[in-house]
Chains A and B, each alone.
Chain A
Amino acid sequence: MPDLSTRYLGLKLKNPLVASAGPFTRELDNVRRLEDVGASAIVFHSLFEEQINLEANELDRQLSPNEGFAEAQSYLPELAAYNIGPEGYVEHLYKAKRSVGIPVIGSLNGVSAGGWIRYAKLIEEAGADALELNIYYLPVSLSVDSAQVEKMQADLVAEVKNSVRIPVAVKLGPYFSAIPNVMKRLDQAGADGLVLFNRFYQPDFDLENLEVVPNLSLSDSRELLMRLHWVAILYGNVKADLAVTGGVHTAADVIKSMMAGARVAMMTSAPLRYGIGHFASVRSKLVEWMLDHEYQSIAEMQGSMSLRSVPDPEAFERANYMRVLSGYTLKSATR
């Protein structure tokens, strides 16, 4: 039996299969089941500060009606409590943590500096083993340049790091003009892990009703390639642990992730598509592959095909289309 263990964010994990932030963790039963089917850690679904604020403001609006008519100064009773805010999430996280033996990683998406820190502390207090900052920021303003965005994110990581003791990973999207530099700055800001990459909602158009409709399709293995690419480039260049998320569906995807240099490979779409039991299936196929290929441990393969470990690093450095157009020429040229 090969050694599947890995270390991520200072946590010793029994294997590299981690459940990424997704809808499973909303149910306590699913949390337990994730452990049963072999997930080595669970990233909780995100606490969205913006959503909390929206819900709070909407509730406030609806409970503050027109009070100008003599017979009705309100239309709904005031209830004792509404659990608006992070309390529900925190309590759920607390319960989840107590119901499983594997590490539970909180996930947070904030909108205000105060919010990030306040909620990060709450997640820590709830017993999370680590925290993943789900930075989902869409710079729609024409006056904000990339340097400002990058600085803001690095500052945020530093602030959160200063306010909690648990390890902090950063999950973010791929839309930067200089990914390695961005990652390096997050690394320097103290990030213990870099999770590559977030998948964003991509609004679609409803042509019949001429409406913009939210859309999030499940990932597939094709999306893995971009992650492999950047993990391979970053491996060895940052202190932070690397994690692959998005496009991990099969044991092969996990193996590739490890070889690129990731400490863990995270899944949500695949178990959503095939059922939670998919973790067990991937894990057994991973073992099978390692046995077949005589790998003793995951550690052995981690980073083995990173930029610094492959004979043709240009393969990572050149633009994809060049490979496609003249792959064989390039291959010959590098020999």
Chain B
Amino acid sequence: MSRPKVTIDGNEAAAFVAHKINEVIAIYPITPSSPMGEWSDQWSSEGQPNIWGTIPSVMEMQSEAGAAGALHGALQAGSLATTFTSAQGLLLMIPNMYKIAGELTPTVIHVAARAIATHALSIFGDHQDVMAVRQTGFGLIASNSVQEVMDFALISQAASLEARIPFVHFFDGFRTSHEVAKVEQLTADDLKAMIDDGLVRAHRQRGMTPDRPVLRGTAQNPDVYFQSREAVEAYYRACPTIVQNVMDKFAKLTGRQYHLFDYCGAPDAKHVLIVMGSGAEAVQEAVEYLNAHGENVGLLKVHLYRPFAVEQFIQALPTSVERVAVLDRTKEPGSIGEPLYLDVVTALGESQRNVQVTGGRYGLSSKEFTPAMVKAVYDELKKASPKNHFTIGIKDDVTHTSLDFDPEYSTEDPGTVRALFYGLGADGTVGANKNSIKIIGEETEHFAQGYFVYDSKKSGSVTVSHLRFGPKPIHSSYLISRANFVACHQFVFLDRLDMLDAAEPGATFLLNSPYGPDTVWNHLPRSVQQQMIRKKLRFYVVDAYEIAKQTGMGSRINTVMQTCFFAISGVLPRQEAIDHIKASIKKTYGKRGEAVVQKNFAAVDHTLAHLHEVEVPAEVSSEFDVRPAVPKQAPEFVQDVIAPMISGKGDLLPVSAMPVDGTFPTATAQWEKRNIALEIPVWDEKLCIQCGKCVLVCPHAVIRAKIYDSDKLAGSPETFKTAPARWREFKELKYTLQVAPEDCTGCGLCIEACPVKDKTEVKRRAINMHDQLSLRETEARNWDFFLNLPELDRTLLNTGQVKDVQILQPLFEFSGACTGCGETPYVKLVTQLFGDRAVIANATGCSSIYGGNLPTTPYTVNGEGRGPTWNNSLFEDNAEFGLGLRLSVDKQTEYARELVRKLAPEIGDELAAAIFNADQSKEKGILEQRERVAALKKKLEAMSSPDARALLTVADMLVKKSVWIFGGDGWAYDIGYGGLDHVLASGRNVNILVLDTEVYSNTGGQMSKATPKGAVAKFAAGGKSTAKKDLAMLATTYGNVYVARVAMGAGDMHTLKAFVEAEAHDGPSLIIAYSHCIAHGYDMVHGLEQQKNAVTSGHWVLFRYNPELAKSGKNPFVLDSKAPTLPLEKYIYNETRYSMLRHSKPEAAQRLLEEAQAEVHERWKLYEARAAQNGAAEPKPAAEPQPAKETPHA
């Protein structure tokens, strides 16, 4: 039978099969498994049926725990059901997994295996998550490659139906889930042949129905629980044979024979590696190479890990084997060894096979695992006493577990083309390369593989595409370190990335260059020139941006560079390649409109004339070189640890360089100068009215203001600008608005926020964008000078005024958030107002990623070394985590007060009383308390009593702390809602900031319960059909919770007021902040305007609910919006998330719009009525006696 060859990634392969052989699919987004849910939702929304002709029902849940519950229910009612997940998601499913397995329910959970959050979160691949469910009773089946993912998705389902054991089908996150490879696609006939309808009927028959009533989920007692538990054993014993039979049946059908344990290598090997997952591919490549070069080694790939089939395992291992090394992609601290190792030891022991076993760890969090490392393990096995419990791939200089390996060792096939492409996330490089791989995979006989390395930053992100293709099957499950083609799609990368390091001698180097073939050489850094000469590289240049500009492609150079790649690489005859590129353009962009197709065609047609080969000179001529990652004055830790990470050399850092408990210093983002803006704002001091709006909205804290004495200007750089301060109380002082040129992302929000227009030329504002390159050096000097100007005494400022807030030092700066991010201005504001005493709990999501993704940290400190302290616990528990922080702070404060009371005679009654009765409601009071505490600590240091020593550890808690709980709508509305609700109900003094982007932004735009009706999102491809949850209104029902709904772009003073009031409220506060987001589909420069539209259309009604007002008899609900004046459509159709539905399904869009508009009116009526209510209580009589002040004396 002929089957189509498709070039897809592992997630699509799994979803393709799962969607065809299931009826109910419960989904929830988590990286890297989210695309499986997205595909399923998309296919169902397009009406694609399963093999029985019905469209699977796809339901997004509020968490993976919810997805597992829904899965359990769907299975119990007799449907074929599945779900997809990774990492923490799988952990959340554990309770249900026990249930599903305990009830012998056939199903398959497809898992893109990923690291678990321990000392740090990691989205990358290893087996920690699947190893954490090996005890649940689920079977575990590992796929090692994209083809295997497709095959095992089917094999596991077929086996599960027969064995009644549910399975986790897993493959390595990113390495396999995101690797694009050419695979043979299974047909509907294959699926039908493998899925036995009789077994489906049997499953259906076991389903719950009142027509055949049964009862499951009994509570059992000591008398029978144990026996019941053992009753399943026979099924587990039968399972391996069933799986093998299914594999055999599959082999007959497709020709691909799998075994529970697949052995490859020398039949008489003495040394064998045992491994599962994508690492097995690299081992296979190494084994083939080693054996071809005189070695005699083998590899045992584990496919069925649970139930562990000892008999089949022993049979699969050649009798010649004397030593095995078992590689685990996980770590179990404190164990004798990792799980696969222990299983192998036990299996061999029970079988009395005399084989020496060593175990080692590799590849955690997608750490590279290469044939060089494999060779090191085989070499170790040759030693008289091979190291056990080793690690490979890192340098462990602490407990010395690591094996050395030779990074130069390579088993790459010379017949395979290995191409590396360095691009920007925004320039379309990755998309173009995925496209190229598809063309090569589907239009040639070549095998093809694409893997993509992304950035930890969301703006200015660098991407590296690794493409392999050639006549032989590709097992290289590792990055390309020897490329015969290197393309640099961004000229600016040359002086910050060592991209030619991976170029092998004679390789081709393609450079997108604004300089032509005659002049480019002298613009290359010295080390780049050296490598080009030394490695005898062939060199091509193209001015892709110029072609893109001429052809209307803007900054998308993907098509131009793709055309160059095909033209140079010669993988296809030139014209044929161009025809395929054009066909692919038509296929990819056709539905977006003819104009899009034509401009891409034009880009293809214009490219070749501008592609030039450059003769590489024999001599190095440049005097400049690659810039250091961080400046010399950076602190030691930044130099030693952070800088290598910035330069892409983090893999070389040894274990000893790492903090042992995940603790990293803050204030490190300032050292990473990314220079990603093409244009930066420039201040016009004559026009500026010093309102501070630009400073407030800047997402990256790169535009700042200071007021200072003019004598501080001594020694200022020549171009440093200053103006008389426009403050009545500071009119003698100077004012400067300064931009950090190397940290700005060029979003332009500041320009949009500027209320000033030049009367002689209205396009000019008080800040205007100018080319960054020409300003970089002078403005960098100005910035340094500016930073050294003193900060103004905070107590002199009115924190209720935007104008004054601009002067407050932000303690959150230069984050990796998207250009024009709508969330970070709120985060920054918190740090300006309360940062020096803020304790922050941050839910997983965008804010935890731009807040805490290495290499650098944006939270920073003020001149006294104070600043926010920050932690990300999990996604689901953030409110509770924050409450825990509060409880801890409160407890320590209480303890400190108890000790002050106790020690008052020794520390002095006056000081003790002052500390005790301090009014810390204002900045001034807090400053004074700090001074008192400093005095207290000084006294305590001279005291030796246990109480004094104890007080010293908690004395700082006597200064008011501000506990903040940050997270997005996915957390607050969905996965964390239960906890959030509980924390609101707790009455404790926490401040919850919900950065509401109305979608799961961090994982790529999946629907949340904050997504508005009519908006398209992933998991809501047909437009969300239900209204957004009114979380703010729900919170008001508690009565004692301060609630505010804000939108900075619609009311900056309102926002400010809400933050100040929330913090002042001695109880729970909830601020829901409208955060424009790239997931909304419009240019973020208009973010503030869209916020205004959201408010004037009535979609986002501003209000504050302040329980303090109720105490004085007033209505606590203050409506801060005016009645809607803008029709909803004028707001929503500025955004692609809405307009794409209008294009795609106009009738549905119209219906949803009308419903949403009606709901706006209804909601407004409700709000108006609430605001019109009288106060909750009568004012208390003024003469009511006040409680006496506490005294420190007992």
Which A positions have Cβ atoms within 8 angstroms of B? 52-53, 55-85, 88, 118, 210-211
Q: Which 9 A-B pairs have the closest CB atoms?
A: A68-B425, A56-B593, A68-B461, A72-B1004, A70-B454, A75-B1005, A75-B1079, A62-B1136, A53-B595
Selected A-B contacts with CB under 8 Å, 6 pairs: A56-B596, A69-B454, A70-B455, A71-B31, A71-B34, A76-B1137
Kindly supply a per-residue 1/0 record for chain B positions 579-604, scoring 1 wherever the CB is within 8 Å of any chain A CB and 0 otherwise: 00000000001011111100100000
Is A60 in contact with B1004, judged by CB distance below 8 angstroms? no
Identify the closest chain A residue to B593 (Cβ).
A56
Using Cβ atoms and an 8 Å threshold, which residues of chain B touch A73? 430, 454, 1004
* Contact residue among A56, A61, A67, A79 (Cβ-Cβ distance under 8 Å from B1140): A79
Identify the closest chain A residue to B1018 (Cβ).
A77
Using Cβ atoms and an 8 Å threshold, which residues of chain A touch B599? 57
In B133-184, the 8 Å CB interface with A consists of 174
In B976-1002, the 8 Å CB interface with A consists of 999, 1001-1002
Report how far A210 CA is from B687 CA in the complex, Å. Answer: 15
Q: A67-B430, A76-B1137, A80-B1144 are in contact. List 20 more A-B contacts (CB 8 A).
A: A62-B1136, A64-B428, A66-B461, A66-B1078, A68-B463, A69-B458, A70-B31, A71-B123, A72-B1003, A73-B1004, A75-B1001, A77-B38, A77-B42, A77-B1005, A77-B1017, A77-B1018, A79-B1016, A82-B1140, A84-B593, A88-B1146
Report how far A151 CA is from B72 CA in the complex, Å. Answer: 73
**A-B residue pair count with CB separations less than 8 angstroms:** 156
B281 within 8 A of partner (CB): no
B462 within 8 A of partner (CB): yes
- Could you tell me the distance in whole angstroms from the C-beta of A273 to the nearest C-beta in chain B? 21
Which B positions have Cβ atoms within 8 angstroms of A? 31-32, 34, 38, 41-42, 46, 123-124, 174, 424-426, 428, 430-431, 454-459, 461-463, 552, 554, 556, 589, 591-596, 599, 757, 762, 818, 849, 999, 1001-1005, 1016-1018, 1021, 1077-1079, 1081-1082, 1136-1137, 1139-1141, 1143-1144, 1146
Identify the closest chain A residue to B431 (Cβ).
A67
Using Cβ atoms and an 8 Å threshold, which residues of chain A touch B426? 65-68
Is B1144 in contact with A82, judged by CB distance below 8 angstroms? yes
* Contact residue among B1002, B1079, B1146 (Cβ-Cβ distance under 8 Å from A76): B1079
Using Cβ atoms and an 8 Å threshold, which residues of chain B touch A53? 593, 595
Using Cβ atoms and an 8 Å threshold, which residues of chain A touch B593? 52-53, 55-57, 59-60, 82, 84-85
Is B592 in contact with A59, judged by CB distance below 8 angstroms? yes
Is A56 in contact with B595, judged by CB distance below 8 angstroms? yes
Is B1021 in contact with A65, judged by CB distance below 8 angstroms? no
Report how far A52 CA is from B762 CA in the complex, Å. Answer: 30
Using Cβ atoms and an 8 Å threshold, which residues of chain A touch B1001? 72, 75
Is B1144 in contact with A77, judged by CB distance below 8 angstroms? no
Which of A69, A74, A80, A81 counts the most chain B CB atoms within 10 A? A69
Using Cβ atoms and an 8 Å threshold, which residues of chain B touch A118? 594
Is B592 in contact with A82, judged by CB distance below 8 angstroms? yes
Is A68 in contact with B1081, judged by CB distance below 8 angstroms? no
* Contact residue among B462, B1018, B1136 (Cβ-Cβ distance under 8 Å from A68): B462
Using Cβ atoms and an 8 Å threshold, which residues of chain A touch B124? 70
Using Cβ atoms and an 8 Å threshold, which residues of chain B touch A72? 1001-1005
Is B31 in contact with A74, judged by CB distance below 8 angstroms? no
Report how far A185 CA is from B332 CA in the complex, Å. Answer: 87
* Contact residue among A56, A66, A69, A76 (Cβ-Cβ distance under 8 Å from B1016): A76
Report how far A50 CA is from B446 CA in the complex, Å. Answer: 42
Identify the closest chain B residue to A88 (Cβ).
B1146
Report how far A78 CA is from B1017 CA in the complex, Å. Answer: 10
Is A61 in contact with B554, judged by CB distance below 8 angstroms? yes
Using Cβ atoms and an 8 Å threshold, which residues of chain B touch A80? 46, 591, 1144
Is B1144 in contact with A68, judged by CB distance below 8 angstroms? no
- Could you tell me the distance in whole angstroms from the C-beta of A324 to the nearest C-beta in chain B? 37
Knowing A68-B430, A82-B1143 touch, does A52 contact B595 (C-beta < 8 A)? yes
Knowing A58-B1136, A69-B425, A76-B1079 touch, does A84 contact B592 (C-beta < 8 A)? yes
Is A76 in contact with B1140, judged by CB distance below 8 angstroms? yes
Is A79 in contact with B1136, judged by CB distance below 8 angstroms? no
Report how far A62 CA is from B1143 CA in the complex, Å. Answer: 14
Is A56 in contact with B592, judged by CB distance below 8 angstroms? yes
* Contact residue among B425, B456, B762 (Cβ-Cβ distance under 8 Å from A66): B425
Using Cβ atoms and an 8 Å threshold, which residues of chain B touch A56? 592-596
* Contact residue among B457, B1002, B1143 (Cβ-Cβ distance under 8 Å from A59): B1143
Report how far A63 CA is from B1078 CA in the complex, Å. Answer: 10
Using Cβ atoms and an 8 Å threshold, which residues of chain B touch A52? 593-595
Report how far A69 CA is from B817 CA in the complex, Å. Answer: 10
Report how far A296 CA is from B478 CA in the complex, Å. Answer: 90
Report how far A134 CA is from B1014 CA in the complex, Å. Answer: 34
Using Cβ atoms and an 8 Å threshold, which residues of chain A touch B1144? 79-83
- Could you tell me the distance in whole angstroms from the C-beta of B1008 to the nearest C-beta in chain A? 13
Which of A57, A59, A81 counts the most chain B CB atoms within 10 A? A59
Report how far A64 CA is from B593 CA in the complex, Å. Answer: 14
Report how far A64 CA is from B430 CA in the complex, Å. Answer: 11
Report how far A77 CA is from B1024 CA in the complex, Å. Answer: 13
Using Cβ atoms and an 8 Å threshold, which residues of chain B touch A60? 589, 592-593, 596
Report how far A69 CA is from B850 CA in the complex, Å. Answer: 11
Using Cβ atoms and an 8 Å threshold, which residues of chain B touch A75? 999, 1001, 1004-1005, 1077-1079, 1081
Report how far A60 CA is from B600 CA in the complex, Å. Answer: 11
Report how far A218 CA is from B1078 CA in the complex, Å. Answer: 38
Using Cβ atoms and an 8 Å threshold, which residues of chain B touch A71? 31-32, 34, 123, 849, 1002-1004
Report how far A77 CA is from B591 CA in the complex, Å. Answer: 13
Report how far A58 CA is from B596 CA in the complex, Å. Answer: 9
- Could you tell me the distance in whole angstroms from the C-beta of B600 to the nearest C-beta in chain A? 9
- Could you tell me the distance in whole angstroms from the C-beta of B703 to the nearest C-beta in chain A? 22
Report how far A67 CA is from B818 CA in the complex, Å. Answer: 11
Is B591 in contact with A84, judged by CB distance below 8 angstroms? yes
Report how far A7 CA is from B987 CA in the complex, Å. Answer: 81
- Could you tell me the distance in whole angstroms from the C-beta of B165 to the nearest C-beta in chain A? 32
Knowing A59-B1136, A66-B426, A76-B1018 touch, does A210 contact B757 (C-beta < 8 A)? yes
Identify the closest chain B residue to A83 (Cβ).
B1143
Knowing A70-B123, A82-B593, A84-B593 touch, does A76 contact B1003 (C-beta < 8 A)? no
Report how far A61 CA is from B1082 CA in the complex, Å. Answer: 9
Report how far A76 CA is from B1082 CA in the complex, Å. Answer: 12
Report how far A80 CA is from B1148 CA in the complex, Å. Answer: 14
Using Cβ atoms and an 8 Å threshold, which residues of chain B touch A78? 42
Is B589 in contact with A62, judged by CB distance below 8 angstroms? no
Report how far A78 CA is from B592 CA in the complex, Å. Answer: 10
Report how far A67 CA is from B461 CA in the complex, Å. Answer: 8
Is A68 in contact with B455, judged by CB distance below 8 angstroms? yes
Is B123 in contact with A69, judged by CB distance below 8 angstroms? no
Using Cβ atoms and an 8 Å threshold, which residues of chain B touch A81? 591, 1144
Identify the closest chain A residue to B1145 (Cβ).
A79
* Contact residue among A59, A65, A70, A84 (Cβ-Cβ distance under 8 Å from B1078): A65
Report how far A76 CA is from B1018 CA in the complex, Å. Answer: 6
Report how far A81 CA is from B593 CA in the complex, Å. Answer: 10
Identify the closest chain B residue to A78 (Cβ).
B42
Report how far A62 CA is from B1137 CA in the complex, Å. Answer: 9
Is A64 in contact with B1136, judged by CB distance below 8 angstroms? no
Using Cβ atoms and an 8 Å threshold, which residues of chain B touch A79? 1016, 1021, 1140-1141, 1144
Report how far A61 CA is from B124 CA in the complex, Å. Answer: 29
Knowing A75-B1081, A76-B1140, A77-B1021 touch, does A69 contact B591 (C-beta < 8 A)? no
Report how far A210 CA is from B759 CA in the complex, Å. Answer: 9
Identify the closest chain B residue to A81 (Cβ).
B591
Is A68 in contact with B42, judged by CB distance below 8 angstroms? no
Identify the closest chain B residue to A85 (Cβ).
B593
* Contact residue among B431, B1082, B1137 (Cβ-Cβ distance under 8 Å from A64): B431
- Could you tell me the distance in whole angstroms from the C-beta of A3 to the nearest C-beta in chain B? 42
Identify the closest chain B residue to A80 (Cβ).
B46
Report how far A64 CA is from B589 CA in the complex, Å. Answer: 10
Identify the closest chain B residue to A56 (Cβ).
B593
Identify the closest chain A residue to B1007 (Cβ).
A77
Report how far A88 CA is from B1136 CA in the complex, Å. Answer: 18
